[in-house]
Structure 1
Amino acid sequence: MTTAQHRSADEVAFNARQDVRTRQILNAAATLLLHQGSRVTSVKAIADKAQVSVGLIYRYYENKEALVRAVIVDVLDQMGYQIPRALEPVEDPVRRVVAAFTAYAEVVRDNRKAVLLTYRETVTLDRESQDLVKKLELETGQFMLQSVQGAIEAGFFRSNLNPRPYSYDLLLIAHSWALKYWYFSERMSFEEFVSTQVSIMIHGALKTEFYSDYPDLLAETP
């Protein structure tokens, strides 16, 4: 192996370790910040929870507000990564809407504490950070909006359906797995939650002449 190859392998290994440490820090921060709030939670407490040094956290984040912002932005970054990949192999306009919703909901499921933190702590951030969160939220919402617009333009969804509030409603519904987890998790699995919400949203948007083409989406069981 050449020196350059060794260096490349070392960089890959370093980045992998950094990703693991970053994930440890963000997960610990999300848990403590959600339970205690940003005013009470100290960086030392987060470091102890993540089993890393305080100095390591400050290598990545200049202060506690930067760490709060990172937890929130991380969820939006994951959405920006996962949703287009879920959409890539799907050509059917109606199923693209479902794929976008499902991918969005899966990120919410996998980052439930961080999603809750987004609702509670965004207001504590400075104006620049709040604007960044809003910008990223609008950007990730574009995948859903474009999918809905595509289904309307292809003639599958009602022509009088307003795509902007409809697509944003779908994002809010996905968030409800985190916001009302206590309710939904006691009554259904995540897969049942998704299929039920998909059935409701497709019934409300799909032209009736296409119902027979999507029996699996209109059914409320996975």
Structure 2
Amino acid sequence: MTCALHELTPLAPPLVYVIDGEDRIQTLNEAYLADASTWGGDPDAVRQALVGQVLWQVLPGVGEWYGPLVRRARADQREVCFPFRCDTPDFRRLMRMRITPQPRGAVAFESSLVGVQPRAHVEVLEGTGASGGSIVTMCSWCKRVDADGAWLEVEEALARLGADAYHLPALSHGICPRCLGELTALAQSPDATLSIDLPEAP
């Protein structure tokens, strides 16, 4: 199966981890550990904390969406590949995930950065919480935000919701209807795709 995503020169080493047949984390590559260290974790401490743990317990809530994709990769013995967004306050980042079956039921997860788009700093993505007490939902896959039923890029959503520097909402992570439908289809068919991408440049 090939990814239905434009091929770009990788911008950084892929982040790779492997789970065994019982979904316990076996290995984490150096790029994954280095990335974790940028968030304040010592690479050796990260390895000791994660290796041997059940993936779905380390990432609660993720199993609901990743589990069917992992089961399909194991059952079909075929790679499952899809795009997703992993944004920061200053950049929109398009990633590609490959879920690849390995011997004895193991599965490898490889996340590669394939596109970056600078943005004006978005304070709400710092995750510092709400000053105004409101909460909005961001899709964990496409990073659009629910603005009264319309799923928009975070900047557009905040403008529509009337947020300002003194009344920033907190973010709750979920999944938008479009991504939920596409992920459900992907778990059932190798020909399904996700329509996640970076927005058109103004």
Between Structure 1 and Structure 2, whose CA radius of gyration is higher? 1
Higher strand residue share: 2
The reply to whether TM is greater than 0.5 is no
What TM-score do the two structures reach when normalised by structure 1? 0.22
TM-score w.r.t. the length of structure 2 is: 0.24
